Structure 1
Amino acid sequence: MKLKVYVILIFCVSLWASNFIIGALLVNYWSALHVTVYRLLCICLFLGILGFPTIRKARIRPKQWLLLCIAAILGVSINHFSFFKSLETTSPITAAYILALTPIMTGIINRVVRGEKKGWLFWLGSIISFTGVGLIISAKQGASASFGVGEIFSFCTMLSFAIFLVLLDVLRKELDSFSVTFFTSFIGCLALLPFLSFAPIVPRQSADLPIILLLIISAILVHGVSNLVWNANQHKVGSTNAAILLNLEPIITMVLSAVILHALIHSSQIIGGTLVLIGILISVVLSDKIKHSDSL
């Protein structure tokens, strides 16, 4: 059962990995804020049409509305905007490296806020996986060691998503995944609309139809369908275990670059990818087996 869930979550991570390449392309045509709002509007329209009966029947209590608003502002408004804003001034590779801190940060937040305990194998696997990500990034040309504005926005993306994953565990105990996905996207979009007046309206480049279609289709798939699927399955393994899979993003991005852009894969990237996989196996599979055997 859990293996099937992990396969589904890896599918979502694969879609999110493509967002680094797509996002870096889109910010050449519109500001980060406009890209964020345009994509959220597409997501809300898609989810609204797809699940109107479910949304209409949703019964949400005031406390749940509060959690939804917090999750929407952190996990949608701030997360999406900071992601695209970071890609204006830093490379997708550097952004991926910083986002690889998400599993460790999620584990720390769960430990402090919810008292969730993880064994030493989980933390060992996280460190091994993070080391592998570092090797992958260091081998890529254009990776920057400096920590400037773009890197700060990447850190905000990572931190906001880690908190969102923890809130998602809480929300999914009482609300269905569709309602959580739609209302966080809708509230997150509304929260950003007042700021549009501060963003430059003139496009940076003239966007042709393929670019516009890329924006719409990627929004629906990457942050519509994948978010819906992720939200429906994360609670089955827990936010900390699910977050460790995010370390696969640099590997998938590396493979996509090789296939689509014909980029060369270096030996250090292969070693780094192997470490990431070993770290995930230790954190998710081995630690769960030991925990299960101890409980018997």
Structure 2
Amino acid sequence: MRRPSPVELMLLTVITLWSLNLTVTRYILTHGFQPLAYATVRYGLAAAVFVVVVLVAERTLAIQRSDLWLVLAAVLTLWLNQLGFVYALKTTSASVVALILGATPIFAALIGLVTRTELLTSRFWLGATISFVGVGLVALGSGGEIRGGLGGVLLGVLTAATWAAYSTCVAPLMRRYSPYRISAVVLSAAWVLIALSGSGQTRSQDWSLDAEVWALLVFAALGPLVLTNVLWFRSLDRIGAARATLAANLQPFVAALFAVVLLSERLVALELAGGVAIAIGILLARRRRPPAAVD
């Protein structure tokens, strides 16, 4: 049995932190933080970290004029992604949001086909289908119904679709800039939009929150946002958006494991079967894509 490759280890770290972030964010939003006030503080902290790192290491935040349209697209999709993310977790459970995010690879593949940035084989589609069936099994095992109403479900779908679009936008930028510079520029610009959108909630926010909530917010900024952004961008550069986002199908199962450990929830046989199917699908689809035809 071969050892996991560096990119597989990076993706495993990303998925683990993202899965834990769903539980952490849900906890924060149900213990005093308003959704957009939370997003404003979290993204402000993460953007500040990236800006300082880039100015010290690279001494510039410059982006070529020809790349500004990609940066703008990344900023807009990330802004929409965060609106969907915080409100989805405010209106429905973390496990439901995780299940819906399993559809992210489908959106990434469709975007890749439209933009002609991905060459997807039948092996990929087979793997994606099997892993998506696994997501369905996890959903059945978690209770057989989607809780939180249609609004929460639609917000989860928005989160999945915009994350796929965001990943597609930043992948070409990785060929010309470091992940730190991309993160500093995109996160800072997205923070401006988030801050403007959430100015009302930020002004009315009660800041006298428990120390535990603040500690979790710092973790949510530095771990699932700062560290994962760097690892995610590197993964996109090496294997493309569709294959990288396929690993997001692990999130429902990993999130269920966190629920068992942290929330004392019960993991049933269907959820275990779903996790196995998700893993099989990813193994099938991780085969290297064929080289593009030379014109």
| TM-score normalised per structure 1 | 0.90
CA–CA distance in structure 2, aligned partners of residues 145 and 82 of structure 1: 16
Identify the residue that residue 254 of structure 1 maps to in structure 2.
256
Equivalence map 1:1-16=2 (5 Å): 3-16=5-18
- 2:58 equivalent to 1:41: no
Q: 1:109 to 1:139 in 2, by over 3 A?
A: same
Q: 1:103 to 1:254 in 2, by over 3 A?
A: same
Moved over 6 A (4+): none
Deviation sequence 1:211-238 (CA, Å, 0-9, x none): 1111122211110111112112321111
Counterpart contact for 1:85–1:153, Cα < 8 Å: yes
CA–CA distance in structure 2, aligned partners of residues 142 and 44 of structure 1: 39
CA–CA distance in structure 2, aligned partners of residues 92 and 127 of structure 1: 23
What is the CA distance between 1:104 and its match in structure 2?
A: 1.1
- AA in 2 matched with 1:181: S
Identify the residue that residue 32 of structure 1 maps to in structure 2.
35
Identify the residue that residue 285 of structure 2 maps to in structure 1.
283
CA–CA distance in structure 2, aligned partners of residues 40 and 197 of structure 1: 14
For structure 1, which runs of at least 5 residues remain unmatched after alignment? none
What is the CA distance between 1:204 and its match in structure 2?
A: 7.1
CA–CA distance in structure 2, aligned partners of residues 120 and 47 of structure 1: 39
CA–CA distance in structure 2, aligned partners of residues 196 and 96 of structure 1: 24
Counterpart contact for 1:37–1:189, Cα < 8 Å: yes
222-231 or 274-283: bigger deviation: 222-231
Q: 1:110 to 1:8 in 2, by over 3 A?
A: same
| TM-score normalised per structure 2 | 0.90
- 2:60 equivalent to 1:57: yes
Local SS of the residue matching 1:148: helix
Q: 1:264 to 1:69 in 2, by over 3 A?
A: same
Counterpart contact for 1:129–1:277, Cα < 8 Å: yes
Counterpart contact for 2:37–2:205, Cα < 8 Å: no
Counterpart contact for 2:50–2:181, Cα < 8 Å: no
Counterpart contact for 1:91–1:142, Cα < 8 Å: no
Equivalence map 1:51-90=2 (5 Å): 51-54=54-57, 56-75=59-78, 77-90=79-92
Counterpart contact for 2:71–2:186, Cα < 8 Å: yes
What is the CA distance between 1:57 and its match in structure 2?
A: 2.6
Identify the residue that residue 177 of structure 2 maps to in structure 1.
175
237-246 or 46-55: bigger deviation: 46-55
- AA in 1 matched with 2:163: F
What is the CA distance between 1:198 and its match in structure 2?
A: 3.4
- 2:213 equivalent to 1:222: no
Q: 1:260 to 1:188 in 2, by over 3 A?
A: same
CA–CA distance in structure 2, aligned partners of residues 24 and 59 of structure 1: 36
Counterpart contact for 2:47–2:183, Cα < 8 Å: no
Identify the residue that residue 198 of structure 2 maps to in structure 1.
196
RMSD over equivalenced CA pairs, Å: 2.2
CA–CA distance in structure 1, aligned partners of residues 243 and 157 of structure 2: 20
Deviation sequence 1:226-263 (CA, Å, 0-9, x none): 11121123211111111100001111111112222232
Identify the residue that residue 237 of structure 2 maps to in structure 1.
235
- AA in 2 matched with 1:138: L
Identify the residue that residue 141 of structure 2 maps to in structure 1.
139
Identify the residue that residue 273 of structure 2 maps to in structure 1.
271
Identify the residue that residue 167 of structure 2 maps to in structure 1.
165
What is the CA distance between 1:205 and its match in structure 2?
A: 9.1
Deviation sequence 1:46-72 (CA, Å, 0-9, x none): 222333224533432122223112202
